[in-house]
Every structure is written in C-alpha cells, then in structure tokens.
Structure 1
Amino acid sequence: MPTEPLPELAVSFLPFATAALDFHRALNLPEAQAATSRGELDALHAHASALYGLIDSHTARTGPVARAEGDHLRACRIRLWQAADHFHDAFHTAPYTGGRLPAGEACRSRLPEGAPDLTICQRHLALAARVRRDHTPADLHDPVTGLTHH
C-alpha cells in the first residue's frame, strides 16, 4: 500500500515542530532531578510515533528516485520505531501515581489502565502493526539496518 504524499503544509510544519521542542526543553523541564512522568513519556512516544510517520512519507517519496538517501531515511524510520518502543517500555515501568500497580498484560490485551495509558498503548499497537508490515525482524535488530551505501 503506497504512502500518501506529504501535504505542502508538512514542509512549513517542521520549523514550528522544532521550535516547540526547543520551547519544551527550555521552559517545561524541571530543574530538580526527578524521573520523567508517565504523561511526559506518553508525549515523547506521541512525538516519536508522529515523526516515524513523517519520515515514512519522506522515505516513500525519496527511495524510488534516490536509493542511498532513501536507505538512510529508512534507517531513521527504524531508529524512531526503536525509540518509540523504548518510550512505551519506560512508560510501563515508570511509577504509577494512581494508587495501584498497572497490570503488565493490560497493554498486550488492549485493556487500558486509563488515560493516558489508553492513548499510548493504542498508539503503540497501531505503530507496531505498521512497523511489522514495513520491516522484517532482521531490519529491526540490525545495528546497520542494511544500508546499501555507507
């Protein structure tokens, strides 16, 4: 199934997304040493998942006409999946403030723990299905990701 081409808005969106990340880093991170909250991990997972989709669109456009560049974008896409997978794992190991421990099977069985748990698990399962369709297990575990040109 071919990926939809990027809308014209996507090119102008990138500087705004970068500025938003800079703003978040400058103003919203606590100075005191503290663990990242489940809500923040959910937001980081959302960013990695959205960036995966954006890079996927660029990969689909670039790969057929510029193989080396497409291979590098494909490697970026795989790394974004790996990052999203780690954010998801971190979310489920982060302290829960709701007074109960989350069930480890809740995500796998699609039984959410409540917001924002529902969003991260649903997003992660949807992205995982897309990743399994687009990549082989070897791709996902290869440290070089099979680049054809170095």
Structure 2
Amino acid sequence: MPATPAATQDFVPYATAAVDFHRALNVPTGPLVASRPELDCLHEHLLSLHALLDAHAERTTPLLPAEGEHLRAARTRLWQAADHLHAAYHCAPRTGSGEVPDAEACRTRLPEGAPELTLCRRHQDATRLVRRRTTPTDLHSPFTGLVRH
C-alpha cells in the first residue's frame, strides 16, 4: 500500500533537523579540513535530495509548468553541488594517512578503491539520470533564465 502524502511529508523536516543537529554538534568553529567520510555523507545526502526534487519536478511540470521549471532549476543546482562535493572528496586528504591525492588523479577522477569507489559509483549512477533530464547548457549556466513569480 503506497504511503499517503501526509505520511511522506513528515520525514523531510526530520532529515533537515538531523542535518542541522549534526552541523551544530560536529562542525567546530575555526579552521577545519572536511574529512572524506563527511564529504561522502554530504554527497549521498545531496544526491538523495536531487532524486527527491527530480521526482517532484517530473510529476509537477506537466501540471504546472512554471513551478516545474523552478523545481528543475533547483534539481540542477543540487547536481552541481554534488559534483563539486565529488571533486572535493578526491582533493581531500586520504583517511588515515593524511596524504593529499595527486592533482592529476583528482583531475581524471580515478577511482581509489573501496570504500572510495562507493562515492564514485553513486556519482556515476546519478550522472546517468542527470544526462537524461538535463542539457549541458543547463548544467553550465550560472543563470536559470527563469522569471520570478
């Protein structure tokens, strides 16, 4: 039996509260290098939000094109953020050794093996959806072209 809209809407505020709680308790003030596990978790979180906005955008656009276009723009911006997190992950010091990856390996995004490969696989899976739903122009445009309502 599918969940009712009221039941499904209850989880997003909890997820938001959990992220806020994590930030308040786990991110100290002052200089701090984001750890690879933290970047991995943030990447996973953004891709979950991306999938949620994708579902809303695809269902809304046929009914309310203007709202759907705003949801699509938000989805695109989340993808851009996730893509930057993926790049940051590959530039971050390796867990344990503290070794900073070679710049060339970061540019080519060579998989580094498990568990690092998990992030790359997740990113590649999301890339397939992005390629189906978004044009290269949308991905590289700093402006959405949308008119505010």
Give the TM-score range, shorter chain: 0.7 to 0.9
Is the Cα–Cα contact under 8 Å of residues 56 and 77 in structure 1 kept in the other structure? yes
Calculate the TM-score normalised by the size of structure 2.
0.83
**SS class of match (2:63):** coil
- Who is 1:45 aligned against? 43
1:70-123, Cα deviation, whole Å (9 max, x unpaired): 110000000000000000000000111344665727x856x44321x1221111
Unpaired stretches in structure 2, ≥5 consecutive residues: none
Change (3 A) 1:7 1:130: farther
**SS class of match (1:145):** coil
Pair 1:129-2:128 in alignment = yes
**How many matched pairs?**
142
RMSD of aligned C-alpha atoms? 2.3
* Cα distance, 1:13 vs structure 2: 1.0
- How many angstroms apart in 2 are the aligned matches of 1:101 and 1:31? 23
Is the Cα–Cα contact under 8 Å of residues 102 and 113 in structure 1 kept in the other structure? no
- Who is 2:137 aligned against? 138
**SS class of match (2:75):** helix
* Cα distance, 1:63 vs structure 2: 0.8
Out of 20, 24, 37, the position equivalent to 2:22 is 24
- Who is 1:67 aligned against? 65
* Cα distance, 1:139 vs structure 2: 1.1
**SS class of match (1:35):** coil
Unpaired stretches in structure 1, ≥5 consecutive residues: none
- How many angstroms apart in 2 are the aligned matches of 1:56 and 1:66? 15
Pair 1:113-2:113 in alignment = yes
**SS class of match (1:36):** coil
- Who is 2:11 aligned against? 13
* Cα distance, 1:146 vs structure 2: 4.1
- How many angstroms apart in 2 are the aligned matches of 1:74 and 1:61? 11
Identity %: 51
Kindly indicate whether structure 1 or structure 2 has the higher relative contact order, using CA contacts under 8 Å at least 6 residues apart.
1
